[in-house]
Amino acid sequence: MSEHTHTSSPAEGQQPRPSHLEHKDHGPQDIGCMVITCSDTRTPETDTSGQLIQQLLDQRRHRLAAYHLIKDEPTEIQQLLKDAAGNKAVEVVLINGGTGISRRDATFEAVDALIEKRLDGFGEIFRYLSYKEIGSPAMLSRATAGLYKGKVIFSIPGSRGAVQLAMEELILPEIGHIVGEMRK
């Protein structure tokens, strides 16, 4: 039997359910998340991307374990990730901002230096979906994801459109599945 089909016997006349749907069905629904906005210019009042992430998490009944708005400084980013690693209330870290190519964009390097297992497909699919929306500028995004000390990290651009795309099309549909796998 293929690894993509459910191994238990379906009711007579029913097709077996694909395993990836079974995993989603059994993934946790209440996940503790840390939201980090990396920006040299935003304030808590003007951080519309960080606010959007929090709203979308709340709509799916995930918990906000922590929120931070920091400058795009690698040492600060890495310290927050190390703090998250020691915090049992945090299972997922969602970082927005600092993924471009300007001199001040350092989030990718800070995250990349700590990731133990990469989820390369996240960045690849994000850039593909972005390309369908905005065209060739999508190649400038260094969105990435991976695992660090038992935590899932997603690092996405800081624009509201990019946040909405990443959250609605990729992160929220898979977050329970990914955390379920991490808990094994």
Reported as a single tens digit per residue, the pLDDT across 155-171 is 999 999 999 999 999 99
pLDDT for residue 156: 98
Q: Is residue 132 assigned to a domain? A: yes
The enclosing domain of 58 has a CATH number of 3.40.980.10
Q: For residue 125, give every residue at least 6 positions away whose Cβ sits within 8 Å of its Cβ, in sequence order, or none.
A: 170
Range of the domain at 62: 34-183
pLDDT number for residue 27: 79
Is residue 14, in this structure, part of any structural domain at all?
no
Residue 77 within a domain:
yes
Closest CA to 84 of 99, 64, 98: 64
Angle at 61 between CA 57 and CA 64, to 5 degrees: 55
Q: In the prediction, which pLDDT does 10 show?
A: 54
pLDDT (0 to 100) of residue 29: 85
Residue 128 lies in a domain: yes
pLDDT in tens, 127-153: 999 999 999 999 999 999 999 999 999
Question: pLDDT averaged over the chain?
Answer: 91
Cα–Cα separations (whole angstroms), residue 164 to 9, 30, 31, 60: 38, 20, 19, 14
* pLDDT on residue 6: 45
What's the domain count of the chain? Answer: 1
In a domain, 21, yes or no: no
- Mean per-residue pLDDT, 101-107: 94
Q: Record the tokens describing residue 42, joined without a space.
A: 């935003």
Contacts of 158 (CB under 8 A, 6+ apart): 37, 38, 39, 42, 49, 96, 97, 98, 99
- Residue 94 has a CB neighbour count (10 Å cut-off) of 28
Q: Coil, strand or helix: which one is 162? A: helix
* pTM for this entry: 0.87
In a domain, 120, yes or no: yes
92 within 8 A of 34, measured Cβ to Cβ: yes
Domain for residue 22, yes or no?
Answer: no
Give whole-number Cα distances, 151 to 14, 69, 102, 139, in Å. Answer: 37, 20, 28, 27
Q: Is residue 136 part of a domain?
A: yes
pLDDT at 114 over 70: yes
> Strands 32-38 and 63-70, how do they pair?
parallel
